[in-house]
Each structure stands twice: as structure tokens, then as C-alpha cells.
Chain A
Amino acid sequence: MTTTIDQVALLARRSVLRTWRNPAATIFPLVFPMLLLAVNSGGLRAETHLPGFPTKSFVAFALAVPFIQGALFATMNAGTDLARDIESGFMSRLSLTPLRGAALLAGQLGGVIALGLVQACFYIAVGLVVGVRPAAGVGGVAVLLVFAAFIALAFGSLGATIAIRTGSTESVQSLFPVFFVFLFISSMNIPRNLISTTWFRDAATVNPVSYLLECVRSLIITGWNGEALGLGFGILAIVGTVGLSVASLALPKRLAR
């Protein structure tokens, strides 16, 4: 009998392999956020002259955004891969083995976390090349990587939940525009305290994505900030707990055996 850990490792390896072999799933999450970073940094650079803007480098300010976009791609990858397995019948094949449901979920998310870490390393490397120096130092970079792993896990579990419940790649992919709306009505392009339109500032304040961005931003721009880190990791803990719980509850029905 293979142990649960063996099973997780096997399925995580498969998840990484299939992502690696699918250029669209690998290159797009790396290139798209960087293109958006370049465009925004060029167009919105003048924001740094606003009184109260937290940094002189817009790239440093905007570098948090790719981490959140990376999470969106993690959601899509985790969900799409699982939904494809269900649609193709591969899940039924796995159901006929002594595979434990928890191992299936953990293996899938393990692959997503691995991709999330690769993305984070790439974003940090690009930031360093263009002159961004994280204010929290080497320790801050390590925390950024931990954050990247957690955000991939939390958002990946949401994608997995939709996949397990619906068994449809279309349903998983329909989440993408929804998440993008959340990203755009956050403090993605300007700090919340500098948003002059009241409804937009209020929306950004209640939007959890703002706090995820501010968590990353604190490590890059201002250094160690307990409140920002607590809020960011706290939101991830809530999203991850909800996502993993719902996915775990839905899985036995999907693995009906």
C-alpha cells in the first residue's frame, strides 16, 4: 500500500509535469503580468508625484500586482486540470485505485504551489533587474515566497472546488473575469488613501484583494509591517480554509465509489 505522502508526491509530480509540458499554462502566467507591469509602470509613473504616494518607484509599487495575478492563474490551472480529469474520465481511473481523496487534492495543489513559487521567483528576479530592492531585505523575499505558496494554495483550492462541484472546464474558466473585476476594484493601481472617488475607495476598502496587495507591497516598499502581513496572511488563511473544506466535502461525491 502506498502512503498518502507517496500518493501526494506522485500526483504533484504529474501536475508539475503536465503544466511544464503545456507552454500556455507556463509562459502566460509569467509573461502576461510582466507586460501589464510594464504598461502600467509607463502610463501611471506620474502617480509617484502625488503627495502621500508611498514610494518614488512605481515599479516597486506595482510589483505586488503580478503576485495576485499569479494567484488567479493558479486558480485557473488547479481548476482546469481537475475539471479536465473529470471530463476525460481520468478521475474515474484514479477512483479505481486505492488513492485517497485527500492525496488527490493535495497532489493537485502541490503542483499549483510549485508553479506559484516559480512565478514568484520570476517576478522578484524581474523586479531586482529593474532596480527594485525589497525594503524587508532577504527575509522579506523569503516571506514573499511563502506568501506566493499560500496564495497559490488558497486560490488553487477555490479553482479545485469549482472543478470538483461542476466537473466542467467552462465553469472554472468563467471564474477568471470575476476575479479580474475584484483585482481592478482594489488598490491595484493607487493606494486606497489616495483614491478620491468615494465609491471606488469604499469598494477597494471592503475588497480583500486590496489587503493581499498591501501585504506584498509592505515587504517591497515599507519593510516589516505586522498589520499588513497579518491581514494578508489572515485573508489567505480564511480563503484557503473555506476552499479546502468545500473541496474536501465535495470530493467524496465526485470520487463516488
Chain B
Amino acid sequence: MDHPNTIEAEKLVREFKKGPRAVDGIDLHVEAGEIYGFLGPNGAGKSTTVLMLTTLLPPTAGTARVGGYDVVHDGPHVRARIGAALQEAALDPLLTGREHLQLQAALQALPRDERGPRAKELLERVGLTDAADRKVRGYSGGMKRRLDLAMALVHRPRILFLDEPTTGLDVQSRTALWDEVGRLAREDGVTVFLTTQYLEEADVLADRVGIIDHGHIVAEGTPDALKAEIGRPTVEVIPAGNDGRGPVSAILERFGPLVPSSRGVAVRLEAGEAGLAEVVRALDADNLHVEHLELHSPSLDDVFLAKTGRSLEGHGAE
């Protein structure tokens, strides 16, 4: 029987004792070879979902099938098909990078003569060849994350779970990891389920995005479709003086609903981009001095804001 490399969940629930419903009846369908970005703030239920889908945490209710197998009843079959890099890079500080990969290869039952070459290949792929024989305790955060990813790939899984793989990484390490994840999906056809709190990451990498908040999926679709749903751009105005916020707000209110802005005053333009010229004219007519004015196209944060009433920017990791 041919099992698809898909991820499916139906009314999946996880409730902790004396705690809230971390995941509250979510439905998921991730196609084979797709990169699915699971976006949400701190405590939204992203990691709990990953733990259930990787068989590490039993669901309280609902069902999930990964690679065609039920995560509760067919755990060994699911684990044989998946690779996972969980939120913390799970490494032994006293072992070297190469030893980690060889141990993982052996435990994943790769034939003895394949273990060394596979470790070498993966070390090259994640750019750790030079550091291969150094103990992991001397690795930077980015190196640990890349080794963690390599370990998840040792047994050539068809489905890959990455739980906030780039949290805490510098831009260079983050970009390198994005490249590798993109390549895995494009060239190897690996299905990737990626949780992230970074809007840009979901935007750049994911074919489709699910936005989770308080254990519920509040929006799902391609990044472009989700942004198109919101449709209207935002204008952010930073007044020149401290006393300018009030008058600027009063003017901007005429063009649409005000939205949160940490730097100045922002409005979602009812008239779309065409409304920008009107805003500038209105500010000028009232002789209001402006330090900065910026037009923002709709972002995934706008989608999140529209669906939950809160902004995702600035939230910490789950």
C-alpha cells in the first residue's frame, strides 16, 4: 500500500491537567511536498500541535494521520517517516557533530557502511564540515540549529517537522536554513510542517500558512491569498512634534479605521492605495508637519490583527 506524505488532523485537541486547552479542535490538511507554515504567538498551541503530530504527546481528542498513519495507533510507522527538529536543539554538548550524526544514523538503523558517508554528506549540506569533529558545546546557536536539522534528515524522512527552527538565529544563519528547507521541499519533495513566530519566515518559505491563536486556527491559505483577503494597505504617519499625534489621528480617522502603531498613527485606507494622495493633501491643508510617512502593503501581521484583534509583531517564542 502506498502511503501519501501528507499530514491530516481532524478536531485535534490537547488539554493539560489544570491548564487550558492548548489545542482546541484544529483541522489540518498538508499536501505532499508542501511547506506549511504554522504561525502564531507565544502559547498559541504551535509546539503542542507538533508534539502530537510527531507522536510525542497523545491527543486528548480528535485524530491525526501523518504519512497515512494514525499518530496514536501507528506510532512506529509515523516515526519511521518523519524527521523532527523540535524547539530546543536537542544535542549532547559533549559529543561532536559527526558523533551525533553517526549515533542518529545507527539508531535509525542505517547500514553500518552508510553511516559515515551519510554523516559526511549532511555535514557538508548544512555547512558544518569544518566543525564536524568539535564538541557541540562550542557551537554557536546557528550551528546547533543546523546540526539539529541534519540529525532530523539522517534517515531521509519524507515529512519534516521544524518547530521554530530559526528562533534566536542571526540573519545569515536564518537565511541559510531557509535555503536548505526550501531546497528539501523543491528538490527532494519533502513535506515540511514549520512553526514560526516570524511573519517574514512564513511569508518567504511557506506555500500555505495556518494562523493559530489560543488553540484555534483563525485563518488558513497561501500568504498572498490571506493578504488579499485583508486587501487594504495601511498608512503610518509619524508627526514632527510630540503634540502632533492628536490632530494627525483626527485627520486619519476620516480615511478608515485606525490601527495600532508603536511609532506614530496608522490608518487602514478604505479607498486602498488611491487614498494616499488624499491623506497627504489633508495633512497639508491643516498645516501639520510630518517627520515620516509610509505606505505599508498588507502583511501577515495585518491578517493576524484582522483575525484576532492583536498584533503578532513583538511576541516572544512559545
Contact = CB atoms under 8 A, between A and B. Distances in A.
A97 B109 CA distance: 9
B54 A21 contact: no
A68 B9 CA distance: 54
Interface string B267-302: 000000000000000000000000000000000000
Contacts of A99: 107
Interface of A: 1-2, 6-7, 10, 14, 17-18, 21-22, 85, 88-90, 92-99, 256-257
Interface of B: 54-58, 75-76, 79-80, 82, 84, 86-92, 94-95, 99, 103-104, 106-109, 135, 151
A257 B107 contact: no
Contact of A92 (B90, B92, B104, B106): B90
A10 B107 contact: yes
B107 A98 contact: yes
A2 B90 CA distance: 22
A98 B76 contact: yes
**Interface of chain B, helix or strand or loop or mixed?**
loop
A179 to B, nearest CB: 25
Given A89-B90, A93-B84, A93-B90, 15 more contacts: A1-B109, A2-B109, A10-B103, A14-B92, A22-B94, A85-B92, A88-B88, A89-B88, A89-B89, A92-B56, A93-B86, A93-B104, A96-B55, A256-B58, A257-B75
Contacts of A92: 56, 86, 90
A89 B90 CA distance: 5
A98 B89 CA distance: 20
A99 B103 CA distance: 11
Contacts, number: 69
A6 B106 contact: yes
Q: Which 10 A-B pairs have the closest CB atoms?
A: A89-B90, A97-B107, A18-B94, A93-B90, A21-B94, A90-B90, A89-B88, A2-B109, A257-B55, A1-B109
B56 to A, nearest CB: 6
A90 B58 CA distance: 19
A10 B54 CA distance: 24
A94 B56 contact: no
Contacts of B57: 256
